[in-house]
Homo-oligomer: A and B are copies of this chain.
Amino acid sequence: MAARDDNSSGEDRLIARFFKPLAKAPGALGLSDDAAVIKPPVGSDLVLTTDAVVGGVHFFNDDPADKVAQKSLRVNLSDLAAKGAKPLGFLLSLALPESVGDDWLTSFAKGLKADADEFACPLFGGDTVRTPGPVTISVTMFGSVPEGRMVKRAGAKPGDRVMVTGTIGDAALGLQLRKGSEWKLAPAQRDHLLSRYLLPQPRSKLAAAICEHASAAMDVSDGLAGDLGKLARVSGVAAEIAVAKVPLSGAAEAALQSDLALIETILTGGDDFEIVCTARPGHVAPLRAAAAAAGVALTEIGVISAGEGARFVSADGKPIAFKCTSFSHF
């Protein structure tokens, strides 16, 4: 991505007008070059993650552009937080259909700037291309962890406790509402679920504590059941989860009361962007304290044992069988 100040190229104009103001880091070279240069902090490893969002797939084409921008950053910020990494910056690859005009881009850049500032994660570079398809935003984000300390999915051991941030299922229910589902909800409950789908809340404030105390972690993006199954499998252990302990918002509780079958949507629906992690028993109290200090809800939901995969057990002690443990667009 590179900017120039004349009007001879449409892409250059876009970059100069909308994106150059976001590229304050010295290594971004004011978007005047073909590449960014990064000097990772001494004694640290670089953590890289990339996630794309596509119009009509990961967001609705009539969602506000600033929220779309924030979502594209936050799904990546969520990955970094779950790895215990501190954000350093991002690269933006943006494919735009001809129907997108300056109004949309103005709002999009405003959303990017808000989150780049809030999460101290500046733009380092990118690429803007035309597409005959929908708006497609691919963000690559990089962060840092102390050397050798990235928190992996692999690392859970028998005896570890399983914990999750925030509440589970809100975004999946919010998506169902967008698609026309109706449950007995107060207007504020409905708004809560819709906003949780529209705008993820990455748990970046918990990253340092995750790095210090978690034995394994990942962000919950494809549904708690499937994602925890992956963590358990790659760790070579079993996770047993008490469904009654899984934290639900008041809105999700209300939806569930009106249709008990929604428990499957809640546990497998995805788009939560919470962190599920495991910790040795001695690390549970300090991790809880750090979460409380950071203002992030953290709930113990189960325990790791020898075995394989994740088991969700209802209040009567019976394991729940899901039709599909993970959300997948494929």
**Which residues does A use to contact B, with CB under 8 Å?**
1-2, 4, 8-14, 29, 32-40, 45-54, 56-58, 79-80, 82-83, 85, 91-93, 95, 124-134, 136, 138, 140, 142, 145, 147, 150, 152-154, 218-219, 222, 226, 230, 233-234, 324-326, 328-330
Contacts and interface: CB of A to CB of B under 8 A. Distances in A.
Nearest to A2: B230
A150 B330 contact: no
A93 B54 contact: no
A175 to B, nearest CB: 15
A218 B34 contact: yes
A125 B49 CA distance: 7
19 contacts: A2-B153, A2-B230, A4-B230, A9-B222, A9-B226, A9-B330, A14-B330, A33-B234, A35-B47, A35-B49, A35-B80, A38-B45, A39-B45, A40-B40, A48-B91, A48-B124, A52-B127, A128-B330, A130-B329
Nearest to A40: B40
A330 B133 contact: no
Identical copies of this chain, number: 2
Contacts of A150: 35, 37
Contact of A39 (B132, B147, B325): B147
Nearest to A130: B329
A325 B8 contact: yes
A52 B93 contact: yes
Contacts of A140: 48, 50, 91, 93, 140
Contacts of A128: 330
B8 A324 contact: yes
Nearest to A34: B79
Contact of A83 (B1, B34, B132): B34
A4 B93 CA distance: 27
Contacts of A49: 34-36, 91, 125
A48 B125 CA distance: 8
A206 to B, nearest CB: 15
A289 to B, nearest CB: 25
Contacts of A79: 34-35
B330 A11 contact: yes
Given A12-B326, A48-B142, A93-B93, 16 more contacts: A2-B153, A8-B324, A9-B326, A29-B152, A33-B153, A34-B83, A34-B153, A35-B48, A38-B45, A38-B47, A50-B127, A57-B131, A91-B140, A131-B134, A133-B134, A133-B136
